[in-house]
């Protein structure tokens, strides 16, 4: 590491609730020479609402990162401390900054994270889909064929898939995911940490029933293939567990079907009724 260089802070900012900016992050952001931001106006409003004094901004986004890189590196080499922000959450995860961080590491310029909010971790922690192992995919491609190839690369892996999607492409994206991945548990997380926060659980083949007109930032979780844990799941035990929780017969059959391979939904539903009948007085 170069002892004379400045330090590049990679700072996480709130994904919704302004109270999630840590005191340490506020102190560091007010003390750097400049802040590198995707949207300087948006970041300025965020810091003002969080009560953080802004030292001034330089824009750094996907369209100017390469062009801006030499000037930013010169500032760091001259001993200036800088902070890198994305519009929300943790930088580099589907946001610009990777090229800058990589070059800093190659040149021995100090880089340090300011950990904090992340839509990925927030969704995994509260969505009710298996959190480990998981793969974060960023934004899927826009075109149908490209999306299908995109999901096909992960179809055979025992992973929960996490990705972002825009509301106007969500329905088509989920249809393509279902076509490639088949019936899997999924969760749509929207407006996390905000007033209208919502987690919508569903199965991929039922994505057409999702509410229309949903707005806000979308994070999608798709669970691993049911066969990945089929050998460890006893359908009768799952049925009894659902019955104790008061779940109806049809909903019980749907849930068990998503977790057990080798049985049709009709077969599971019949077993639900049989167990119910045998347990009734």
* pLDDT 10s digits, 13-35: 999 999 999 999 999 999 999 99
Q: What is the predicted pLDDT for the residue at 226?
A: 79
Between residues 153 and 278, which one has the greater pLDDT? Answer: 153
* pLDDT 10s digits, 34-44: 999 999 999 99
What is the reported pTM?
0.77
Mean pLDDT of the chain: 90
Q: Predicted confidence band at 1 (pLDDT cuts at 50, 70, 90)?
A: low
Res 143 pLDDT > 80:
yes
- The predicted model gives 104-123 an average pLDDT of 96
Question: DSSP secondary structure string, 12-61?
Answer: -B-SS-GGGS-HHHHHHHHHSSEEEESSHHHHHHHHHHTT-----EEE--
- The CA R_g of the chain, rounded to the nearest whole Å, is 23
Q: What is the predicted pLDDT for the residue at 231?
A: 46
Res 84 pLDDT > 70:
yes
Q: What is the predicted pLDDT for the residue at 4?
A: 82
Residue among 14, 61, 58 nearest 32 (CA): 58
* pLDDT 10s digits, 197-233: 999 999 998 888 887 777 777 999 999 987 654 445 6
Res 269 pLDDT > 80:
yes
Q: Predicted confidence band at 246 (pLDDT cuts at 50, 70, 90)?
A: confident
Q: What is the predicted pLDDT for the residue at 276?
A: 82
Residue among 19, 15, 174, 190 nearest 95 (CA): 15
Report helix, strand or coil for 271: helix
Q: Please, are residues 135 and 157 in contact by the beta-carbon 8 Å criterion?
A: yes
- The predicted model gives 64-73 an average pLDDT of 94
Res 48 pLDDT > 50:
yes
- The predicted model gives 172-201 an average pLDDT of 93
**Farthest-apart Cα atoms in the chain, separation:** 82
Measured distance CA(56)–CA(43) in Å, rounded: 10
Question: DSSP secondary structure string, 133-181?
Answer: SEEE--SPPSSHHHHHHHHHTTTTS--EEEEEE-TTTHHHHHHHHHHHH
- The predicted model gives 145-173 an average pLDDT of 93
> In angstroms, how far is the first alpha carbon of the chain from the final one?
75
Res 280 pLDDT > 50:
yes
């Amino acid at each position: 590491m170069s002892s004379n260089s400045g330090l590049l802070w990679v700072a996480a900012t709130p994904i919704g609730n302004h109270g999630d900016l840590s005191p340490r992050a506020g102190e560091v952001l007010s003390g750097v020479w400049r802040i590198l931001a995707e949207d300087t106006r948006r970041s300025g409003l965020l810091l003002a609402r969080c009560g953080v004094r802004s030292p001034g901004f330089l824009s750094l986004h996907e369209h100017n990162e390469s062009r801006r890189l030499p000037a930013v590196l010169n500032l760091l080499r001259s001993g200036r401390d800088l902070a890198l922000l994305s519009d929300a959450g943790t930088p580099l995860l589907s946001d610009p900054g990777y090229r800058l961080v990589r070059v800093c590491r190659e040149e021995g310029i100090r880089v340090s994270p300011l950990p904090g909010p992340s839509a990925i971790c927030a969704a995994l922690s509260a969505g009710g889909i298996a959190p480990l192992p998981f793969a974060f995919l960023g934004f899927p491609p826009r075109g149908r064929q490209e999306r299908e190839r995109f999901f096909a690369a992960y179809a055979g892996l025992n992973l929960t898939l996490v990705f972002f999607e825009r509301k106007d492409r969500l329905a088509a994206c989920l249809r393509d995911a279902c076509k490639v991945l088949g019936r899997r548990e999924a969760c749509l997380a929207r407006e996390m940490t905000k007033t209208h926060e919502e987690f919508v659980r569903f199965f991929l083949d039922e994505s057409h029933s999702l509410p229309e007109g949903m707005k806000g930032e979308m994070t999608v979780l798709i669970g691993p293939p049911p066969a990945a844990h089929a050998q460890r799941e006893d359908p009768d035990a799952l049925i009894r567990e659902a019955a104790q929780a008061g779940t109806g017969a049809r909903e019980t059959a749907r849930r068990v079907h998503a977790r057990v391979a080798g049985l049709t939904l009709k077969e599971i539903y019949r077993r639900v009724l049989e167990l119910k009948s045998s347990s009734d007085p």
